[in-house]
Amino acid sequence: MSWVTNAIKSSIGRKFLVACTGLLLCGFLVAHLIGNLLMYIGPEVYNNYAHTLHSQEYLIKIAEVGLLVLFIAHLWLAIEASGRNRAARQTRYAVKKSKLPNRKIPFAITPENYMLVSGIIVLIFLCIHLGDFTFNLTMPEKIEGLEPYDKAIVIMRSPISAIAYVIGSLLLMWHLWHGATSMFQTLGLRHPKYDGLTQNFGPVFATIIGLGFATFPIYAWLVPYNPPAPNPDAPEAHGEPDSHSMNTIPAWQPASDRNELPG
Amino acid sequence: MKLTLHIWRQPNTEADGEFKTYELPDVSEHMSFLEMLDVLNEKLISEGQEPVAFDHDCREGICGTCSLMINGQAHGPDRETTACQLHMRRFKDGDEIWIEPWRAKAFPVIKDLVVNRSAFDRIMQAGGYVSVNTGNAPDANSTIVPKQNADLAFDAATCIGCGACVAACKNASAMLFLSAKVSQLALLPQGQPERKSRAINMLKQMDEEGFGNCTNTNECEAACPAGISVENIARLNRQYVSAVLTSRD
Ligand code: SF4
Ligand code: FES
């Protein structure tokens, strides 16, 4: 198997894997955005989706582990590559100017020159996001026992989270602007017939994903919303023994709809 | 015209270098950039100073020997032009010009503006050739090459091995050079027998020489005096990955 390790260690092999993992992570972003957009259809639809998703215990575990592996691989390979890149030029130029026709500033602040920085900021944002939503660390007492929709709104109505989410989404957009076009070149998918498509794919995809995610905190602030009262002793307060269990369908259904549910 | 030159002076590879400033009072706009440096060197020699070492050979844009970073741009401000083909009419009276050598770990400075580009030779030795006899002129008629492939191979073959792509790349990557050398053979029937080992071995050599990775910023293409397209880099990526996955070595 030494050919595998050799290939991964080679500059092209490494970049190829960065592109592959990036592509798969893009797939995750699309699925996540579509899921979140259900918030706009209505709380019930969104809650329904969230509970159905979380009831697939094994699938969720596999997806979580898979995503973790993808993230770590993507980041690790990119950090390694950028370490090599820095080592490849030891003395800097006193003067450096681009010869690209539309770029006059030296090392302009453009997405392709700040991929590692934007990637690491996105990672920090991701940790905050997981802390908020997955591990319920930031405001456990406020979101205890809330339905997914309410939980999301409550979290995003905190000013710090709202700002973090808007900035995080915009940086993700910045990262994808270059990444989602560059991956085609790295994967060798290039042909004059499709150049226009691949060149524009990154910016368009980045805008949809970045602005798409950025709308949620803004929406959370704009919708008239009465935050549900903090619910420290949630299970009892709900008056239903299984009211916060994710697996029993009737418990999360709004009271008015419960009777209409089959079974 | 009157020019102020800031030139990188470094006595040898080990020594530290520094910029020295020179005034040239009477530069003709008809001179080439290298002729301007010749005039400076004559002046320095007549004053008993060490002349500035810089690389040059053909002075007509075909050998790839000249290698100057002029005001932060490889081969100067013009597109698809080597430093030797750059003319002083591109500058104006009173200009300050910064002249540096290619900077890359894989291209150590030998002296002043001259760098050692043997790393490119070693990459070529690792596979930038065909081992078969390609025959005599009549044999060309029996080896069919589609016109489009011949054109693309020829475009790739115009790489003069100057190293401007490495110099301009923020990662000092030699991918444009390597991609041109791999493409020119990968596109032709004569290159097929060694297609896989060529891609694998040449890339291995490039990595060992200490060049960086490609991050698709396209600075190399913009700096290349031969107009080599980054489309070749995509071809190199394809060649390498398919070679790794299917080679029997
Ligand atoms: S690809 Fe262009 S810039 Fe690079 S070595 Fe060849 S001719 Fe010079
Ligand atoms: S001296 Fe030969 S290309 Fe410039």
Domain boundary among B62, B91, B111: B111
Nearest to B203 among A3, A11, A178 (CB): A11
Q: Hey, is the C-beta of B173 within 8 angstroms of any chain A C-beta? A: yes
Q: Hey, is the C-beta of B152 within 8 angstroms of any chain A C-beta? A: no
B168:A99 CB<8 A: yes
Residues B76 and B105 in one domain: yes
A85:B73 CB<8 A: no
- This prediction's pTM: 0.89
Residues B78, A101: Cα–Cα separation, whole Å: 11
- The 10s digit of each residue's pLDDT in A134-155 is 888 777 777 777 888 999 998 8
Domain boundary among B90, B111, B132: B111
- The 10s digit of each residue's pLDDT in B31-55 is 999 999 999 999 999 999 999 999 9
Residues B152, A139: Cα–Cα separation, whole Å: 61
What is the B211 CA–ligand 2 centroid distance (Å)?
23
What is the B112 CA–ligand 2 centroid distance (Å)?
18
Q: How confident is the model at residue A106 (pLDDT cuts 50, 70, 90)?
A: low
The whole-number average pLDDT for the span A211-229 is 83
Question: Percentage of residues in chain A with pLDDT exceeding 70?
Answer: 83
Q: Which ipTM did the prediction report?
A: 0.92
What count of CB pairs under 8 Å joins A to B?
136
Residues 6+ apart with CB under 8 A from A126: A71, A168
Q: Which residue has the higher pLDDT, B140 or A86?
A: A86
Domain membership of residue A262 (yes or no) is no
Q: What confidence score (pLDDT) does residue A137 get? A: 77
| Atom number in ligand 2 closest to CA B62 | 3
- Whether the per-residue pLDDT at A237 is higher than 50: the answer is no
Total domain count, chain A: 1
> Hey, what are A185's tokens?
């070149």
Find the domain containing B126 and state its range: 118-246
Q: What confidence score (pLDDT) does residue A250 get? A: 40
Q: How confident is the model at residue A254 (pLDDT cuts 50, 70, 90)?
A: very low
Residues A100, B223: Cα–Cα separation, whole Å: 8
Q: What confidence score (pLDDT) does residue A110 get? A: 82
Domain membership of residue A240 (yes or no) is no
What is the CATH number for B129?
1.10.1060.10
The burial class, CB within 10 Å (0-12 / 13-18 / 19+), for B18 is: exposed
Q: Hey, is the C-beta of A99 within 8 angstroms of any chain B C-beta? A: yes
CB B33 within 8 A of CB B87: yes
The burial class, CB within 10 Å (0-12 / 13-18 / 19+), for A217 is: buried
Total domain count, chain B: 2
Q: What confidence score (pLDDT) does residue A253 get? A: 44
CB B199 within 8 A of CB A150: no
CB B171 within 8 A of CB B71: no
What is the CATH number for B72?
3.10.20.30
B104:A88 CB<8 A: yes
Residues B132 and B241 in one domain: yes
User: How do beta strands B3-9 and B96-100 pair?
Assistant: parallel
Q: What confidence score (pLDDT) does residue B117 get? A: 98
Q: Which residue has the higher pLDDT, A107 or B56?
A: B56
Find the domain containing A40 and state its range: 2-86+98-225
Instruction: Give the residues across from B70 on adjacent strands.
Output: B73, B99
Q: What confidence score (pLDDT) does residue A104 get? A: 61
B73:A97 CB<8 A: yes
Q: What confidence score (pLDDT) does residue A241 get? A: 41
Q: What confidence score (pLDDT) does residue A261 get? A: 41
- Whether the per-residue pLDDT at A225 is higher than 90: the answer is no
The CA-atom distances, in angstroms, between A234 and each of A138, A141, A147 are 18, 10, 11
Q: How confident is the model at residue A75 (pLDDT cuts 50, 70, 90)?
A: very high
Q: What confidence score (pLDDT) does residue B56 get? A: 97
What is the B186 CA–ligand 1 centroid distance (Å)?
18
A85:B215 CB<8 A: yes
Residues B150 and B205 in one domain: yes
Amino acid at B77: P
Q: Which ligand is nearest to the CA of B66?
A: 2
The CA-atom distances, in angstroms, between A121 and each of A167, A225, B128 are 10, 31, 42
Q: At residue B70, what are phi and psi to the nearest 5 degrees?
A: -110, 115
Closest residue of B to A91, CA-based? B103
- The 10s digit of each residue's pLDDT in A15-74 is 999 999 999 999 999 999 999 999 999 899 999 999 999 899 899 999 999 999 999 999
Residues B129 and B102 in one domain: no
Helix (H) or strand (E) holding A3, with range, is helix A2-9
The burial class, CB within 10 Å (0-12 / 13-18 / 19+), for A111 is: buried
Interface subset of B 107-146, CB within 8 angstroms of A: none
Residues B186 and B99 in one domain: no
Q: Which stretches of chain B score pLDDT less than 50?
A: none
Nearest CA to ligand 1 atom 8: B162
Question: Chain A interface, mutation test: which of B9, B162, B237, most A Cβ atoms within 10 Å?
Answer: B237
